[in-house]
Structure 1
Amino acid sequence: MTATDWNAHPEQPYGPSSLAEDGFVHCSPDEATTLAVVNAFYRDASRPLLVLLLDEERLASRVEWEEAVPVPPPGVGADIVFPHVFGLINRDAVTGILEIKWDGEGRATGMRAWQSA
């Protein structure tokens, strides 16, 4: 998500606009998968682009691990399953926030601790 989206309503649980359409919040299981997803779908997103680290045990919404449908994005193996959060993300389930690092060609190359302004 963008920092603007994350900071828009800090007193409320977070839910991306895709939640209404898809019925769940798209998540990734690890850094490599997250970077592949960012490079496939979010290279033109506003920056900074943030990644929430979630404690699944603290989430108030149901989590299901599911295969990518119809296929995983480029760079993600067919055996990877994705955590989908079926509802809003309560902020006390967020254990950390990382910022995507970019190279000179606009590719996501890693993550670092996010320092909010």
Structure 2
Amino acid sequence: MRVLHVAEADLWMRALEAGGYRGSTRGLDLAQVGFVHASTARQLPAVVAGLYADASLEDQVVLVIDVPTCESSGSPVRWEVPEDSAQPFPHIYGPVPVSAVVAVLRMRRGADGRVTMPVLDGLDVLEAPPAR
């Protein structure tokens, strides 16, 4: 089972050196928020539209994160419903170990402003939150 996280490319590069990723959401880190925000494949477009509408996507990457690897490394993943949503999102409570990131993908924004999402085929990313 894998989930997605939009990361600033430079934070991801620093994580490679440090061994763990500590970003949370745009402009905030794990220490400030308490967890790393993540999403499913279906949730990703809304996350990008809501949080990155004014951002250059050239500076962002999408991390494909293996949930069992996070959990076995001491960073549990909890499915929680944020105040501004009706559906649960994955929240990673601890740093994301570099070993849990199985792919780093790019998004693009066309001249018309539309976002081209990364291709997730074969990456075992959850389409939607698991049934409760």
Superposition TM-score tier, normalisation by shorter sequence: 0.7 to 0.9
Gaps of 5+ in 1: 73-77
Gaps of 5+ in 2: 1-6, 121-132
On the 8 A contact 2:69/2:100 being kept in 1, the answer is yes
* 1:58 lines up with 2:58 in the alignment: no
On the 8 A contact 1:48/1:99 being kept in 2, the answer is no
Q: Which residue of 1 aligns with 2:128?
A: none
- Normalising to structure 2: TM-score of the pair? 0.70
Q: Which residue of 2 aligns with 1:75?
A: none
| CA-CA distance at 1:110 after TM superposition | 1.3
Task: Name which of 79, 102, 107 aligns with 2:109.
Answer: 102
- Root mean square deviation, CA, Å: 1.8
| CA-CA distance at 1:106 after TM superposition | 2.8
SS in 1 for 2:31: helix
* 1:92 lines up with 2:99 in the alignment: yes
- Percent identity, aligned pairs only, is 34
2: CA distance, partners of 1:2 / 1:111: 15
Q: Which residue of 2 aligns with 1:40?
A: 50
| CA-CA distance at 1:112 after TM superposition | 4.6
| CA-CA distance at 1:36 after TM superposition | 1.0
Q: Which has the higher helix share?
A: 2
Q: Partner amino acid for 2:14?
A: A
| CA-CA distance at 1:108 after TM superposition | 2.3
Once the two structures are overlaid, the 10-residue window that deviates more, 100-109 or 55-64, is: 100-109
Q: Which residue of 2 aligns with 1:71?
A: 84
